[in-house]
A and B are shown apart, each in its own frame.
Chain A
Amino acid sequence: MNDYAGLVTRAIAFAIDAAIINLAAAVVAVIVGLGVSVLNVPDAVVTVAVAAGGVAYVVWTVGYFTTFWSTTGQTPGSRVMGIRVVCTQGDDAISLRRALTRVAGMVLAAIPFFAGFLVIAVDDRRRGLQDHLARTLVLYVPAAK
Chain B
Amino acid sequence: MAIGSGLLRSGVQLGVDVGRVALRPAAGAVDLGRRAGARVTLDALDAVLASALAEAAADRVLASPWTERTMTRALTGPLVDAAAREVARGAVIEPMLHEVLAAEVLEQVARNPEVERMVASLFESHLLDEVVARLLQSDELWRVVDEIARSPAVTDAITQQSFSFADQVAGEVRDRSRNADALVERTTRRLLRRRPPTGAV
B171 near A7 (CB under 8 angstroms)? no
Interfacial residues, chain A to chain B (CB-CB below 8 A): 1-2, 5-9, 12, 80-82, 118, 121-126, 140, 143
Decide: A122 and B174 in contact? CB cutoff 8 A: no
Q: Given A122-B194, A143-B171, A6–B178 Cβ distance below 8 Å? A: yes
A1 CA / B186 CA spacing, docked (Å): 12
Smallest CB gap from B171: residue in A:
A143
| Total of A-B residue pairs, C-beta within 8 Å | 57
- Answer whether residue B63 sits at the interface, using C-beta atoms and an 8 A cutoff: no
Interface of B with A (CB < 8 Å)?
Answer: 170-171, 173-174, 177-178, 180-182, 184-185, 188-189, 192, 194, 197-201
Give bound CA distance, A5 to B174, whole Å.
11
Q: How far is the CB of A54 from chain B (nearest CB, A)?
A: 33
A1 touching B201 in the complex, CB below 8 Å, given contacts A9-B177, A122-B192: yes
Q: In chain A, what residue has the closest Cβ to B176?
A: A8
Residues of chain A within 8 A (CB-CB) of B192 are 122
Q: How far is the CB of B27 from chain A (nearest CB, A)?
A: 66
Chain A hits for B170, CB < 8 A: 80-82
Q: Which residues of B contact A5 (CB under 8 A)?
A: 181
By the criterion CB–CB under 8 Å, are B189 and A122 in contact? yes
| Minimum CB–CB distance for B112 against chain A, Å | 55
